[in-house]
Amino acid sequence: MKILIADDHDLVRDTLAAFLGREKDFEIDTASDLADALDKINAKPRYHLVLLDYSMPGMNGLEGLAKAKEANEPWPVAIMSGIAPKAIAQEALDAGAIGFLPKTMAANSMINAIRFMSAGETFVPVQFMTAEEPEETNELAKGLSPRELEVLSGLCRGLANKEIARELDLQEVTIKLHVKTLCRKLDAKNRTQAAMIAKEAGLF
């Protein structure tokens, strides 16, 4: 079973590849961004399953999903993420992803999910989709878009605009505009205060 894991975080990608590679019937390839993934898909017979990190360079939201699906037809493509909320997971499924894998999944559960999806069955963890999320229960989050929440997550992790832009595959000037909007919506004087307000409100 040929599987392609595409993720720009070296540790995540290599750890996952090493673990899945222990399965005797798994043949694992890796890619560091969407362009690399598409090159790998086009260079050999299609993969039985392609796993794409939602936030890696080149993805531009779910546009990358559409490109990978077209390149890997008729075999399936799934999205994985460590930060995307279940609203994004649902959007991915609606856009034709065979499944959505949170990076917090237990390793053995991920292996079972991969086997399930490679057989053509849609997979998403029930617990993930039914769990309450900050944007549904937190009043502060209700006024923020999914993209603004992603940028705010970066601020809370102490990332610079350039780092957030790379993570979300956006221009740095776009991140600056999002930060400015976040400060206005959160009534914060600067990015540091915006992060503090988010943390105090329990968003991250």
What is the structure's pLDDT at 146? Answer: 85
Residue where a domain stops, chosen among 130, 151, 171: 130
- Regarding whether 98 and 158 lie in a shared domain, the answer is no
Enter the pTM of the model.
0.64
CATH of the domain at 43: 3.40.50.2300
pLDDT digits (tens, 9 = 90+) for 182-197: 999 999 999 999 999 9
The parent domain of residue 188 ranges over: 134-200
pLDDT digits (tens, 9 = 90+) for 78-99: 999 887 777 888 899 999 999 9
- Regarding whether 28 and 107 lie in a shared domain, the answer is yes
What is the structure's pLDDT at 135? Answer: 44
Distance of CA 26 to the CA centre of its chain: 23
For the chain, the DSSP string reads -EEEEE-S-HHHHHHHHHHHTTSTT-EEEEESSHHHHHHHHHHSSPPSEEEEETTSTT-TTTHHHHHHHHHHTTS-EEEEESS--HHHHHHHHHTT-SBEEETTS-HHHHHHHHHHHHTT--B--HHHHHS--HHHH-HHHHTS-HHHHHHHHHHHTT--HHHHHHHHT--HHHHHHHHHHHHHHTT-SSHHHHHHHHHHTT--
For 110-126, the DSSP string reads HHHHHHHHHTT--B--H
- Regarding whether 151 and 126 lie in a shared domain, the answer is no
- Regarding whether 25 and 92 lie in a shared domain, the answer is yes
Residue where a domain stops, chosen among 105, 130, 155: 130
- Regarding whether 145 and 122 lie in a shared domain, the answer is no
What is the structure's pLDDT at 26? Answer: 93
pLDDT in tens, the chain (204 residues): 999 999 998 888 998 899 899 999 999 999 999 999 999 999 977 899 999 999 899 998 889 999 999 999 999 999 998 877 778 888 999 999 999 998 888 888 889 999 999 888 999 987 777 765 544 446 777 788 889 999 999 999 899 999 999 989 899 999 999 999 999 999 999 999 999 998 888 776
What is the structure's pLDDT at 132? Answer: 59
